[in-house]
Amino acid sequence: MYEAVIGIEVHCELKTKSKMFSMAPVTFGCPPNTQVHVIDMAMPGTLPAVNKKAVEMAIRVCHALHMDIDDLLRFDRKNYYYADLPKGFQITQYYHPIGKNGYLDIEVEGETFKIPIERVHLEEDTAKMTHNDHYTLIDYNRAGIPLIEIVTKPQLHTSQQVVAYLEALRLILIYTDVSDAVMAEGSMRCDVNISLRQSHDSILGEKVEIKNLNSLVNIQKAIDYEIERQTDLLQKKLPIARQTRRFDEKTQTTVVMREKQSLLDYRYYPEVNILPVRLDKQWIQVIQKQLPQLPEQRRQRYQMQYHLSLQDTMMLLSHKDLSDFYDQVVSIYPHYQTICHWLIGDVRAYLRQYQKKVSELLLVQDFAELMHMLEMKKISSKQTKQILEFMILEKKSPYVLMERYHIQQVSDEQLLSQYIEEVLHDYPQQVADYYAGKHQICSFFVGQVMKKTKGQANPQKTNELLKCLLEKRKV
């Protein structure tokens, strides 16, 4: 058996207003070559100027990943001749990354792993190139968008660990509010390096890099395939070539992009157009203090204090806006489980339907009131669904809607008993069935009462009273 040794590089676009070194806007999906500054095009006489917000965002991520932060900011040139960056080099941080020696805890099948993170550095994105059969088109809108690159040590061993790491990292990028981290849109991109070795202490085999992976599902498939492919080669005593490969969705395999004979020489050297920037230590501390509560801390709070299940917790955490909304609602009305249940159920379905954030559809106060009405049994579950729909459509408080649409729960025992008696009178055969031992017929009677009251009878109360009345009649 062979052991896989995997290292991950993640590139994440930062959601600043302007680019890393120029004042062009950071956008997605705009017409080609309309979001470009002379600096991005390397026009003679232009000089880069470091974006403060991008540095702040990098510090936030570094802090969330427990990294040592270098307060002397320095940049380097990575020289390569390719049209996706007009300068002929990329400005990056090769020698002095802003963050070093961090880690991220992940959980796989109940076991916790500490994934060491070697470095986080700032750099600029490249232009988007579209390759056709005979030519290539270049759109420079993306050139210069701030990126952070997050590099793990090669200490992951399975595709499950990689997926868990990427999911945890994605949440950190979202909760630190630095990126949308949408893999399908390319705001979070992942390269995987894999090599195999015979046992834990033996020499590593040749490294294969898999690039352009755009979904967690494909990443898992690509890694599993690559481990199988390399194992097969090793078992047949065939050499593994040092290559860059990509995942091919059609064949569900990895295919060669290019052979890597030796390491490309990027001739890194310090970026002479940016003087070293000494960051104010107090500024760094303020950024660290203002960091919102991170997913791991929220997870612990939801599970330990609010007693939510792991599944519900993860569902809430995977949508930051829902988790934020949940925190606000429970701060007013601390009925943790009911609120969670409604948010990850009905509310989440509406978010998908309308493609909106929860704060765009509902007010915290209104939703807390709705939950209070439900808990106080003023309305049934079904009525809660009705009012919720009206709240989203009409943007009114649940009390106003309850009155407008005459929605209320009938819990009055005398009134309910009257309806039940009527139903029992109308269906003598079903009553006889009940006495013959067919007790499940009760739900039929409750249904008839609901029909008579146009859905306003309290179902629980109706059920209780029904059983009482049936027993009384028996005597």
Partner 1 sequence: MDEKELLRQLAKDIRISVRDEDMPSLCQVYHTFLEHIACLEKIETEGVEPLVFPFDVEIHELREDEVDEVYDIDDLLKNAKNVKDNQILVPKVVE
Would you tell me which residues interact with partner 1 (CB under 8 A)?
A: 16-18, 23-25, 31-38, 40-41, 49-55, 72, 81-83, 129-140, 258, 269-270, 272, 275-278, 280
- What token pair was written down for 158? 């399975």
Q: Which is nearer to partner 1, 116 or 276 (CB)?
A: 276
Among the listed residues 90, 86, 59, the one whose alpha carbon sits nearest the alpha carbon of residue 76? 90
Q: How far apart are CA 251 and CA 243, in angstroms?
A: 19
Name the one residue in this structure whose structure tokens are 């990509």.
246
Q: Which is nearer to partner 1, 269 or 435 (CB)?
A: 269
Half-sphere exposure of 298 (CA within 13 A, CB side): 24
Q: Which is nearer to partner 1, 262 or 440 (CB)?
A: 262
Shortest reach from residue 116's CB to partner 1, in Å? 29
Q: Which is nearer to partner 1, 142 or 298 (CB)?
A: 142
Q: Are 254 and 246 in contact (CB under 8 A)?
A: yes
Residue 466, Cα to own-chain centre: how many angstroms? 47
Contacts of 247 (CB under 8 A, 6+ apart): 210, 212, 213, 218, 219, 221, 222, 225, 253, 254
Shortest reach from residue 359's CB to partner 1, in Å? 24
Q: How far apart are CA 103 and CA 155, in angstroms?
A: 11
Shortest reach from residue 346's CB to partner 1, in Å? 38
Q: Which is nearer to partner 1, 96 or 341 (CB)?
A: 96
Shortest reach from residue 278's CB to partner 1, in Å? 4
Q: Which is nearer to partner 1, 209 or 369 (CB)?
A: 209
Residue 223, Cα to own-chain centre: how many angstroms? 21
Q: How far apart are CA 180 and CA 184, in angstroms?
A: 11
Shortest reach from residue 101's CB to partner 1, in Å? 23
Which residues does residue 6 pair with via DSSP β-bridges, in sequence order? 156, 194
Sign of CA dihedral 412, 418, 422, 428: positive
Shortest reach from residue 30's CB to partner 1, in Å? 10
Identity of residue 473: R
Shortest reach from residue 136's CB to partner 1, in Å? 5
Longest C-alpha distance within the chain, in Å? 101
- Give kind and range of the element (H or E) at residue 432: helix 428-435
Helix locations, 279-407, DSSP H = 281-289, 295-300, 310-317, 320-332, 336-342, 348-354, 358-361, 364-375, 381-394, 398-404
Q: Are 294 and 169 in contact (CB under 8 A)?
A: no
Q: How far apart are CA 446 and CA 441, in angstroms?
A: 9
- Give kind and range of the element (H or E) at residue 446: helix 442-452
Shortest reach from residue 274's CB to partner 1, in Å? 9
- What token pair was written down for 163? 């997926």
Q: Which is nearer to partner 1, 52 or 404 (CB)?
A: 52
Kindly calculate the radius of gyration of the chain based on its CA atoms and give it in whole angstroms: 30
Q: Which is nearer to partner 1, 286 or 349 (CB)?
A: 286
Shortest reach from residue 265's CB to partner 1, in Å? 10
Shortest reach from residue 261's CB to partner 1, in Å? 12
Shortest reach from residue 34's CB to partner 1, in Å? 6
Q: Is 275 helix (H, G, I), strand (E, B) or coil?
A: coil
Q: Which is nearer to partner 1, 27 or 297 (CB)?
A: 27
Q: Which is nearer to partner 1, 120 or 391 (CB)?
A: 120
Which residues does residue 147 pair with via DSSP β-bridges, in sequence order? 13, 123
Q: Which is nearer to partner 1, 19 or 170 (CB)?
A: 19
